[in-house]
Structure 1
Amino acid sequence: MNSPEPRKRTARACDSCYRRKIKCDATLPQCNWCSHHNLPCTFDRVVQRKRKPENDDSNHPKSSRLSERISRIEQLLAENLMRESNSEPMDYTHIIDDNPININTTNTTASNSPSSTSVSSISNQPILSSSVGVHFAGRELGVISLLTGIPFLLPEGQEWIQARTGQTISSEKLSPSRVPWEKERGQSSNETMMNLRNDDLFELPDRRSVQMYFDAYKQSRVMRRLFPVVDIELFAETINEAYRQPKSGFEFGQASTRACIIAFAAFVARLPPVVQIIRRLSSTALQVDHEILSSKAQFLLSQVMQEPASLEGAQAVTMLTLYEVSSGNMRATNYFAAIAARLIFMLGGNLNSNKLYSNSKHDRRRQQQVRNLFWICYTMDKDVALRIGQPPTIADENCDLTLPPGYAEHAFLDPEDAKLSHSQPSFQFDLRLSIIKSRTHTALYSVGAIQKSDADLLKSIRELDDELEEWRLSIPPQWRPTMSFSAEASDPNVTMHSIMLRLNYYLCMSIIHSASSRCKAWRQGNGMLDGVNSSLALSVEASRSTLCYLEAGEHVLVEGIFWVLVYYPISAFLSIFCSILSNPLDPRSRDDLERLNMATVMMERIFHRKLPASEIGHFKLVADFVAEMKRLAECAVDKAWREQSAGSLLPQ
C-alpha cells in the first residue's frame, strides 16, 4: 500500500518575505515589505509539511539547533530594522516556537541609530549570522548585534524582567537604538566635512602648531610610553618631508605622509597632558580644531589605501583609530582598526622585529616602530571586540606574540623615572592581559565555543581563570589588583594607570565567569550547578569591585576620559542588575541596590564634570539607561519582599 503524500498547503508568507525570514502581513495585492521596496508580491511556492513527534529534538544536531536560534534572532533584528525605517510606531507579532507573542515597540528615528542603514540597503542581501547571546543564570536575555554593537532584548528577556519587577519596560531606555557607551559622530563629522572647501581638504595645518604639539608630545613621557604612535626621530623626518610638498594637491605616494601629520595633530590635541604642556609653554599657543583635522585625515584615507603600505600610512590609520575610540565612536574605531591591522601585517608588524635582520639603524627603527603599532592595534582590537561583541580582527595564530624585551620588568616602573628609555613603551593596556582577552573570546565566545558542552565550557573557564590569576600574581605588589575591592578598602597607589589596570582585570574576571550562564546545568539542576553558581558569583563580585574602585579613584581621573571609561561601569551595572533580578531576596541584593544608587551619583559627578560642553547632551542617554536599570532593580526587590510577606511564592 502506498504511503499517503505529505499534505500541501498554500504559503502564508509571500515569496520575498519567506526568503528573508521576515514576518509577512500577507496583505493583498502587496504586503507591507514588498510595497515598501517596490517588489512583486507573489505566493507561488508550495510548502510541504511533515508532522513530527512533539518535543523530539534528539535527532537535531547542535549545529541545526544553533542555526535555528540564529535564524530566529535574525528575524527579530530584521523586524527591528524595519520598525526603525518607518515613520510611525508599528505592532509586530513575533512567532517564536509556534507561539505568538505581541510586542508593542516604539519607533526610533534612523538618524539617532548607529545602525542607521535603511531597510532598502539590506533588502538585496541575506542578513548575516551576526549576534552574540547575552545570558545570565541560564537565561538568554538578549543579544548583541555583531553588525551594530546594539544590545537587543529578546521577547523572553523582556518577559522575564517584567515578571520579576511587575513593571513595563521602557524600551527606549533599557534596550535603546544605540549602545550607551557609543557616541554617534556620523552626523557632526559629515557637517564638518561639508563646511570644508575643496582646497582646504589637502592643506596641512600650520607648521608652528604641529611643531608645538610635537614638542609637547616629546616632553610628555607618560603619553609617549602609553601611546608610542610615532618614533621621535622618524616623525621629525616625516614633518620635514610633508612640508616640502606643495600646499595644495600632492603627488601619488604623498597622501600617507600628509595624512600622518594631520592625524597626529588631531590625536595629540585630545591628550590632556599634552594640552597642559602646551598651555605651560605658551599663553598664546596656536590651538587646532581636532574635529576638522580628523575629518581631513579621514578624507585622505581613501588615497592612503591606494598607495603601497608604508609606516606613515599605518601610523595615520592607527592614530585615527585611537582618536575615534577616545571620541566614543566605536563603529568608526572598528573600521579603522581593521584597516590599520591590514597595513601593519603588510609591513611585517605581526612578526617579532628583534628577529628581523637589517644592517641599517634607520631600518631597524622603522621595524621597531611598526612593531609598536602592532601592539597598539592588537590591544585595541581585543578591547573593541569585548565592547561591541564582534570577533577580533587579528588572529593570534598569525602573530608572533613575543613580548618586547624587558617588558615585564619596566611596564610598572614610574614613567618619570630617568632610567627608563623612551624606546620602552608600556602601552595603554597590559599586553599580557590583552592576550588573555583574546584567548577568552576564542575559548568562550567564538562560534565554536558556543557549541561546547557544559563540561568543556567549565574546563575552559577554569583554565582561563588560572591564567588570569597567574598574570595577577606576576604584577608587582604595589600595583597588583586584589581579587575583590570593597568600598571600605583603599589603594594608596591609585593613579590613572592603576585604574585602567584594575578595571580591565575585573572586566576579564567578569566575562570569563559570566560565560557559565550558558551552561545547561541551570535548567537541569544536576550536581554541576554548585560549581556553575560559584563561577557566576565571581563574575558579579568583579562587577561590584569595578564600581567600588572607580569611585575610589575618582580624584585622579583626567579630563576627556569619559568615552574610554564609561563602558566599564555600565557593563558592571548590567551584571549587578541581572543578579538582583535573579535573587531579589538574597541578603546582598539590598547592598547591591545601595551600590547602584551610589554608583549612579558617582557616574554623574565624574562624567558630567569631565565632559566638554558639546558632549553633555549625550550623557542623558547613559543616565537614562542607568536610571532605568536602577528603578527596575528596586521594583524587583520590593515586589519580592511584598510577595514573601503575603505568603506567596516567588515566580521562577
Structure 2
Amino acid sequence: MSRNSQQDDSRRHIPLDPMTKTLAHADKGVAKQEPSRHKVCSACRHKKQGGDFGATLRCSICRERRASGARNEERYRADMRRRVMINRLETNIERMESRLLDMGLRLSESNTNAAQEFLCSNVPVLKHSDNNTASDPEFGNFCAGGEPNAMSTTSIAGANPGIVFSYKSVEDWPPCLASFSIPRSLVDAPLAGGFSAISPKGMEWISQKVGNLSLANLSSLLSAKHLDENTTNSPLHGAFPSRVFCSLPTKDEIVSLVQSYIEDFNMLFPIFQRSELLSLFNQKSLDMRVQTPSQWACINAVLATAYMIRPQEASGTDHHQKSWLFIQNALEMVNELCFGPPDLLGLQALLLLVTFLLGTSAENPCGFLVSAAIRICHELGLGKTEGGSPLCSEGIQHKRTLFWIAYCLDRELSLRFSEPPAQSDEDFSVTLPMEAPTDSKYSMPTSDLSGSFNAFRSTCQLAIIKGQLYKDLYSPAAEDRPLSQVIASVGVLDEKLQEWKRSIPPEYQPEKAVADGHRSKISPVLLLLHYSYFHCVIAIHRRVVARGLSTGTDLLEKDDFTSSPASLSNPRVLLSTSLCTKAARASINLTKYLSQDNTPLFGSLIYYPVIASMTLSWSIIRNPQDAYRGYNLKLIDRTEDFLSSQAFCKAFEGIRRLVKQCAEYRSIAEAAVKATM
C-alpha cells in the first residue's frame, strides 16, 4: 500500500471535532430546531458551569461571548440565592403550621375566634358569676352555707390542663383608658403618677380649666353603672390557663380553718378585715369557675396558711403537705394578679403568699411577689395621703395598714437576704399609723394604765430603720466606704435603734423581756419585735467586727480612723464585738418562747436564732480563747437541738439549708477551740 493511500485512510478515521460539525451544519443551513444562542465547545461549557473563566478560551465563539458568560454567572448566583431563601422560608412556614396544628389551632378557619381558640387550647372559657358575695359578718351565717362544689383532685405531675379565667365582658368600654389619664405634672401638686379624666378629681380639674363648657359626655362615662374597673382589653387576656392541685375541703373543715386563721394568724398579720374574709368564704359556691383570680388566690392562700399553723396530729395527717398543695393553687393565679388589672383583693393575696413563703425561707419567690405587691400598692394609691376619700375611716385605715405591711415585708426581705428593696422612702407620702389595726393584737395596755402601746406603729418605725441600715451598710454603694464613714454610720444607726427602744414602754422593751425569766409566755407580736431588734443590733455592729476590730484599742490604731475622730460620736461603736455576742445570746434565749404549737410565725422566726447561732460560732472562730467560748458553744448546741426536734424544720428545703449551715458553723467553731488546747 502506498504512502498516499495510508494518509487517506488515517484522515478517514479521524473523528470530527464537535465544533467543526456545528459550523459545518450551520454553513449548509441544516434545518434543525436549535436555540437562538450560539453553542460553545464542551470544554468551555464545563468551565462556564464550574465558574472557571480565568483559563484560556478554546474557540472564537467563546472569546466573543466571554462578557456575556460573566453576566450569566452573576444572574445564576443571584437566582440560586433566591431559591435557597424561598426554600428556607417554605420550610419554616411548614414547621410553624405543623406546630400550630399540634397546639390545636385550626388553620382552615378564617374568623376572628381562631386566636381565642389557640389561647384557650380547647379549654372552655369560664366567666365570673355576677352574683354578689354574701356580706354577713357573723360566723353563724358563714357556717350555715352549703357544701362547696366538688372538684377532682389532680396530682402535681398530671394536673388538669387548666381553666382560663375571663373577666366580665363590658360593652362600650373605652378602648384605651390611658388616653384619659392626666399626668400629675400638669396639676398643682407634681407627684408621681396621675389620675383619670373621668374620675371625680379629673372632672373637677377639667371644670376649673375649661369653665362653663358642658361635660355631659364625660359625666355619662363617670355615672355609667355598667362600667367595671376590673375590665381589661389586654392582649394577655385569657393567656394563662390555671391548674388545680388540690380540691377544696368540706364546708365544716373550711369553717374550722377560717376561724383558726382569723383568731391565730390574722391577729398578727391583719391582711383581711374579719367581715371581708367571712364574706369571701360565705359565697354560695367556692368553685374555681365562679371566682375571680384574686378571689381564688385568697381562698387557697388562707386555707394553706391555716393548715400551716395547725398543730400536727398524732394520727399522722401531714398538714404541711396539704398547705403546700393549696399554696400551689394560689400560685397558679400569680400571672393573672400581676398582669391583670390591680385590685385590693389581689394585693392581699400577694401579701399572704409572701408571709407564707417567708416562713419557708424561699428567697427568690418572696422578692418577686413583694415587688409586685408594692407596684399594686402604688397603682391603687395606697402610698399617698388620703384627701377627700369617699371611704370610711375604717376603710382608709385598712388600706394604710396594707401598705405598711407590704413596706415591712419589703424591708425585712431586703435586710434578711441582702437585696435592694422594692419601695423607696421618697416614693410615698402616707403617714405612720397612729392606731393599731382593728381586730389585731397590736394594741397592748401599759402597766400604769395611762394608755396603750401601739406595737404596729413601732414595727413600722423599726422597718424604716432596717431600710436605712441596708442602704448605709449593706448596699453595693456602701461596700467600698472608708472605715471612718462606716464607723460614723454604725454610730448613727445604733443611736436611732436605741431611741426606738426607748420609745417602747419599759415592760415591753427587748432587754427587759429577756431579763424577766419568770415569764412563761410572750405575745407573738412582742416576740417578733424583740427578734427583729436583736437582729438589727447584730447587723449594725457586725460591719465593725468584720473589719477585724475586736476592741476599742484596735479601732483607735487604725490610720484611716484617727484622721476623723468625729466618727466616735457614739462610744458604743468601741463595744461592737461585745454587743454582737450579747445580742446573739439574747436572741437564742428567746427560743424558750418559740413553739410551733402556739406561734403562728414559727417559720419566719426560725431565721433569727439560726443567725444568732452562726454569729456566736463566728465570734469563736475569730477568738477561740474567748472566756465565754464554753457558754457560747452550749447555746449553739441548744439551738441546734431545738431545731432538729421540730418537724417544721424538716418539711422545707430553705429551713433545712439554714439548719445545715448552723451545724457547719458549729463544727468549725469546735475545731477552732480544740486547736488552741
Q: Does 1:358 align with 2:321?
A: no
Q: How does 1:58-69 map to 2 (within 5 A)?
A: none
Alignment partner for residue 532 of structure 2, among 504, 507, 514?
A: 504
Alignment partner for residue 160 of structure 2, among 194, 197, 216?
A: 197
Match of 2:375 in 1: 342
Q: Whole-Å Cα distance in 2 between the matches of residues 291 and 490 of structure 1? A: 38
Match of 1:548 in 2: 589
Q: Whole-Å Cα distance in 2 between the matches of residues 321 and 508 of structure 1? A: 21
Q: How does 1:423-442 map to 2 (within 5 A)?
A: 430-442=459-471
How far off is 1:343 after superposition? 1.0
Q: Whole-Å Cα distance in 2 between the matches of residues 271 and 598 of structure 1? A: 24
Structure 1 residues 476 and 426, CA gap change in structure 2 (3 angstroms): closer
For residues 50-82 of structure 1, the C-alpha deviation after alignment (integer angstroms, 9 at most, x for no partner) is xxxxxxxxxxxxxxxxxxxxxxxxxxxxxxxxx
Match of 2:629 in 1: 589
SS at match of 1:413: strand
How far off is 1:310 after superposition? 0.5
How far off is 1:511 after superposition? 0.5
SS at match of 2:506: coil
Match of 1:576 in 2: 616
Residue identity in the other structure for 1:545:
A
Alignment partner for residue 397 of structure 2, among 359, 365, 368?
A: 368
CA contact (8 A) 2:538 2:580 kept: yes
Q: Whole-Å Cα distance in 2 between the matches of residues 266 and 428 of structure 1? A: 28
Alignment partner for residue 266 of structure 2, among 203, 216, 224?
A: 224
CA contact (8 A) 2:410 2:421 kept: yes
Q: Whole-Å Cα distance in 2 between the matches of residues 525 and 567 of structure 1? A: 36
CA contact (8 A) 1:412 1:476 kept: no
Match of 1:535 in 2: 576
Alignment partner for residue 648 of structure 2, among 611, 616, 635?
A: 611
For residues 590-631 of structure 1, the C-alpha deviation after alignment (integer angstroms, 9 at most, x for no partner) is 332233233333333xxx23528755x887655543333222
SS at match of 2:303: helix
Bigger relative contact order, structure 1 or 2 (CA pairs below 8 A, ≥6 apart): 1
How far off is 1:404 after superposition? 1.4
How far off is 1:441 after superposition? 0.9
RMSD (Å) for aligned C-alpha atoms:
4.1
CA contact (8 A) 2:514 2:589 kept: yes
Residue identity in the other structure for 2:670:
E
Q: How does 1:418-457 map to 2 (within 5 A)?
A: 430-457=459-486
Structure 1 residues 591 and 247, CA gap change in structure 2 (3 angstroms): closer
Q: Whole-Å Cα distance in 2 between the matches of residues 249 and 445 of structure 1? A: 47
Q: Does 1:212 align with 2:252?
A: no
Residue identity in the other structure for 2:668:
L
Match of 2:289 in 1: 248
Q: Does 1:526 align with 2:567?
A: no
How far off is 1:563 after superposition? 2.7
Q: Whole-Å Cα distance in 2 between the matches of residues 613 and 535 of structure 1? A: 34
Structure 1 residues 193 and 302, CA gap change in structure 2 (3 angstroms): farther
How far off is 1:291 after superposition? 2.1
Q: Whole-Å Cα distance in 2 between the matches of residues 314 and 287 of structure 1? A: 24
Residue identity in the other structure for 1:635:
A
Normalised TM-score (structure 2): 0.54
Q: Whole-Å Cα distance in 1 between the matches of residues 660 and 548 of structure 2? A: 34
Structure 1 residues 428 and 549, CA gap change in structure 2 (3 angstroms): farther
CA contact (8 A) 1:546 1:572 kept: yes
How far off is 1:562 after superposition? 4.8
Q: How does 1:271-420 map to 2 (within 5 A)?
A: 271-272=309-310, 289-352=322-385, 355-361=386-392, 365-400=394-429, 402-407=431-436, 411-413=442-444
Q: Whole-Å Cα distance in 2 between the matches of residues 414 and 271 of structure 1? A: 27
Aligned residue pairs: how many?
A: 422
Q: Whole-Å Cα distance in 1 between the matches of residues 499 and 352 of structure 2? A: 32
Q: Whole-Å Cα distance in 2 between the matches of residues 358 and 618 of structure 1? A: 43
Structure 1 residues 380 and 210, CA gap change in structure 2 (3 angstroms): farther
SS at match of 2:248: coil
CA contact (8 A) 1:344 1:370 kept: no
CA contact (8 A) 1:495 1:553 kept: no
Structure 1 residues 557 and 391, CA gap change in structure 2 (3 angstroms): farther
Match of 2:671 in 1: 635
Q: Does 1:263 align with 2:301?
A: yes
Normalised TM-score (structure 1): 0.56
Q: Whole-Å Cα distance in 1 between the matches of residues 325 and 343 of structure 2? A: 24
Q: Whole-Å Cα distance in 1 between the matches of residues 603 and 321 of structure 2? A: 21
Q: Whole-Å Cα distance in 1 between the matches of residues 599 and 514 of structure 2? A: 25
Q: Whole-Å Cα distance in 1 between the matches of residues 643 and 243 of structure 2? A: 41
SS at match of 2:508: coil
For residues 337-395 of structure 1, the C-alpha deviation after alignment (integer angstroms, 9 at most, x for no partner) is 1111111121112224xx3322344xx65543332221221111111112211111111
CA contact (8 A) 1:340 1:377 kept: yes
Residue identity in the other structure for 1:440:
L
Residue identity in the other structure for 2:526:
S
CA contact (8 A) 2:603 2:648 kept: no
Q: Whole-Å Cα distance in 1 between the matches of residues 541 and 669 of structure 2? A: 22
Q: Whole-Å Cα distance in 2 between the matches of residues 360 and 545 of structure 1? A: 44
How far off is 1:505 after superposition? 1.0
Alignment partner for residue 474 of structure 1, among 489, 493, 503?
A: 503
For residues 532-588 of structure 1, the C-alpha deviation after alignment (integer angstroms, 9 at most, x for no partner) is 5522321222112211232x4256863665532221122112221221122112222
Structure 1 residues 246 and 329, CA gap change in structure 2 (3 angstroms): closer
Residue identity in the other structure for 2:347:
A
CA contact (8 A) 1:325 1:564 kept: yes
SS at match of 1:399: coil
Larger Rg: 2
How far off is 1:210 after superposition? 8.0
How far off is 1:330 after superposition? 2.6
Q: Whole-Å Cα distance in 1 between the matches of residues 408 and 584 of structure 2? A: 22
Residue identity in the other structure for 1:597:
D
Q: Whole-Å Cα distance in 2 between the matches of residues 385 and 557 of structure 1? A: 29
Residue identity in the other structure for 1:358:
S
CA contact (8 A) 2:581 2:615 kept: yes
SS at match of 1:376: helix
Q: Whole-Å Cα distance in 2 between the matches of residues 629 and 446 of structure 1? A: 25
Residue identity in the other structure for 1:466:
E
CA contact (8 A) 2:434 2:457 kept: no
How far off is 1:513 after superposition? 1.0
CA contact (8 A) 1:337 1:380 kept: yes
